[in-house]
Amino acid sequence: MFVWYSMHTNQIGDEGATAIGCALRDKAHLSVLRLQSNRIGDIGACAIAEGLRTSPGLTKLWMHANQVGDAGARAIGSALRDKANLSVLHLGNNKISDIGAGAIAEGLQASTALNELGMHTNRIGDAGAQAIGSALRNKAYLSVLGLNNNKIGDTGACAIAEGLQASTALAEFGMDTNQIGDAGAQAIGSALCNKAHLSKLILSDNQISSSAVQLLSQNLPAKCEFSADNQRIRVQDANISPSSSPAFRSNTANAPLAASDSMSQEVRQLRARIAQLEQAQQTTATAPVMSTIPRVSLQVLSEATAQFSESKRIGGGGFGSVYSGVWSGQRVAVKRLAADSTQGVAQFESELEALSRFRHPNIVTIMCYAQEGNERCLVYELMANGSVRDRLDRKDGTPALNWAQRRNIATDIANAMHFVQTAISGQPLFHLDLKTDNVLLDAHFNAKVADFGLTRSMPAQEGRNYIKTKTIAGTYKYICPQYLEEGKVSIKTDVYSYGMILLELLTGEQPGIKLGSAVKRALKNHGRLDSELDTSIVWGAPDCLFATTVAELALACLELDGVDRPTFDEILTTIGQSVDQGSAHAHAAVPPDRRMELRISADLVHSRMEQQQPHSQSAEVSDESISRLSHPYSAIKEQLSPITNSIELDSES
**How far apart, in Å, are the Cα atoms of 106 and each of 54, 113, 133, 439, 441?**
19, 14, 11, 20, 17
At the top level of CATH, the class of 291-381 is alpha beta
pLDDT tens across 79-100, in order?
A: 888 877 899 999 999 999 998 9
Read off the pLDDT of each residue in 587-607 and give the average, rounded to a whole number. 36
CA angle 189, 194, 200 (to 5 degrees): 65
Is 580's pLDDT higher than 70? no
Residue type, 374: N
Is 122's pLDDT higher than 80? yes
Q: Dihedral sign for Cα 199, 204, 208, 212, please.
A: positive
- 575: how many CB neighbours lie within 10 A of its CB? 18
Q: Using an 8 Å Cβ cutoff, are 43 and 18 in contact?
A: yes
Backbone phi, psi, residue 431, to 5°: -75, -50
Rounded distance, CA 386 to CA 365, Å?
15
Closest CA to 124 of 154, 156, 81, 159: 156
Q: Is the pTM of this model over 0.75?
A: no
Q: Using an 8 Å Cβ cutoff, are 74 and 442 in contact?
A: yes
Percentage of residues of the chain with pLDDT beyond 70: 76
Closest CA to 483 of 512, 495, 385: 495
pLDDT tens across 12-43, in order?
A: 998 889 889 888 876 767 889 999 999 999 88
Residue type, 507: T
pLDDT at 54: 82
Is 199's pLDDT higher than 60? yes
Domain ranges of the chain: 4-227, 291-381, 388-585
Rounded distance, CA 506 to CA 480, Å?
20
Q: Using an 8 Å Cβ cutoff, are 28 and 582 in contact?
A: no
Please state the residue numbers annotated as binding site for ATP: 335
Backbone phi, psi, residue 205, to 5°: 55, 50
pLDDT tens across 526-559, in order?
A: 888 888 999 998 888 888 888 999 999 999 999 9
pLDDT band at residue 271 using 50, 70 and 90 as cut-offs: low
pLDDT band at residue 464 using 50, 70 and 90 as cut-offs: low
pLDDT at 629: 32
**How far apart, in Å, are the Cα atoms of 150 and each of 109, 180, 202, 338, 355?**
21, 11, 14, 38, 21
Beta bridge partners of 441: 447
Closest CA to 417 of 525, 571, 311: 571
Please state which of the four CATH numbers 3.40.220.10, 3.40.50.720, 3.20.20.100, 3.80.10.10 is assigned to the domain occupying 4-227: 3.80.10.10
Rounded distance, CA 188 to CA 572, Å?
30
**How far apart, in Å, are the Cα atoms of 26 and each of 149, 585, 593?**
36, 17, 10
Please state the residue numbers annotated as binding site: 335
Percentage of residues of the chain with pLDDT beyond 90: 35
Local structure of residue 482 (DSSP, 8 states): I
Closest CA to 62 of 79, 85, 81, 86: 86
- 3-state class (DSSP) for residue 595: helix
Is 322's pLDDT higher than 50? yes
Element (H, E) at 153: none
Local structure of residue 622 (DSSP, 8 states): -
Listed in order, strand segments (DSSP E) in 291-389 are 313-317, 320-327, 330-337, 366-372, 375-381
Listed in order, strand segments (DSSP E) in 496-554 are none
- 577: how many CB neighbours lie within 10 A of its CB? 10
Beta bridge partners of 381: 332
Read off the pLDDT of each residue in 291-316 and give the average, rounded to a whole number. 86
Is 254's pLDDT higher than 70? no
Task: Give the range among 419-428, 470-479, 493-502, 576-585 with minimum mean pLDDT.
Answer: 576-585
Closest CA to 344 of 318, 366, 367, 368: 318
Task: Give the range among 127-131, 421-425, 543-547 with minimum mean pLDDT.
Answer: 421-425
Rounded distance, CA 37 to CA 67, Å?
9
Mean pLDDT of the chain: 78
Burial class (CB in 10 A: 0-12, 13-18, 19+), 197: middle
Is 288's pLDDT higher than 80? no
Rounded to the nearest 10 degrees, the angle between the axes of helix 493-507 and helix 568-582 is: 30
Read off the pLDDT of each residue in 102-131 and give the average, rounded to a whole number. 92
Whether domain 388-585 has CATH 1.10.510.10: yes
